[in-house]
Amino acid sequence: MSSVFHKIRLYHAVLALLVTAAYLTGDELEDLHIWLGYAVAAVILFRLLWAAAGPRQLGISRLFPDLMELAKVRRLNHPMISRTLLACIVINLLLATGTGLLMEPPPIGQLVAEVSIAPAFADDDRDRERDRDGKENEALEEVHETTANLLVLFVVLHVTYLLAFKRPMALFMLFLRDPAVPVAQKKA
């Protein structure tokens, strides 16, 4: 297997660990949750830049299904099902991360420019606390929490699908098997 796929697997693991940690710290450890959210955003930005400048296999378009092809699906192991699950993961990940950034903009942004884009970008902590309790952020919080929960659902469906229909790939991505080594050789 190409080293590109090993790099994708490593990126995937880092993103999965960060997202899992952010999800699990959401209610209890708010400051850690926010910093994990910044890390997730940085990893997503890295992936977009990597897709733009890297090999063709890294292109983002390969993650999204062709809707006309999806309508023709007649078997459960069709690649469009996997792409659809990936698209749902990407959409929910971007929405959860984006709404999180709107509610808690990175401190670097506050240092670079004091531009008020939304009430969530208050100039001082007192204004931000007031906005946090106000209606302006309630909608963002709802979208953030809902998309985070949907993200978990789609990840579970994605992993289950891969284990059921694409087991060698799933085991490779979970660091449980190197697809370059046939199963018969591993047993010996």
Could you give the CA distance from residue 84 to residue 65 in angstroms, rounded to a whole number? 5
Say what the pLDDT of residue 101 is: 92
pLDDT tens per residue, the chain (188 residues)?
A: 468 788 888 999 999 999 999 999 988 898 999 999 999 999 999 988 888 887 766 666 666 666 666 667 666 667 778 888 999 999 999 999 999 999 988 876 554 444 444 445 445 554 555 455 556 678 899 999 999 999 999 999 999 999 998 888 888 888 887 765 544 444 44
Could you give the CA distance from residue 108 to residue 101 in angstroms, rounded to a whole number? 12
- Residue among 9, 37, 42 at smallest CA distance from 21: 37
Query: Which element (helix H / strand E) includes 7?
Result: helix 3-25
Cα atoms in the Cβ-side hemisphere of radius 13 Å centred on 121: 15
Amino acid at 130: R
Q: Where are the alpha helices (DSSP H) in 54-134?
A: 67-71, 79-103, 107-112, 125-133
CB atoms inside a 10 Å sphere around CB 186: 9
Say what the pLDDT of residue 125 is: 52
| Integer Rg of the chain from CA | 19
CB neighbour list of residue 16: distance below 8 Å, 6 or more residues apart: 155
Q: Which two tokens stand for residue 21?
A: 């940690």
Q: Which two tokens stand for residue 173?
A: 């991505």
Could you give the CA distance from residue 155 to residue 140 in angstroms, rounded to a whole number? 22
CB atoms inside a 10 Å sphere around CB 181: 10
**CA dist 70 → 59, 64, 75, 163 (Å):** 20, 11, 11, 21
Say what the pLDDT of residue 180 is: 58
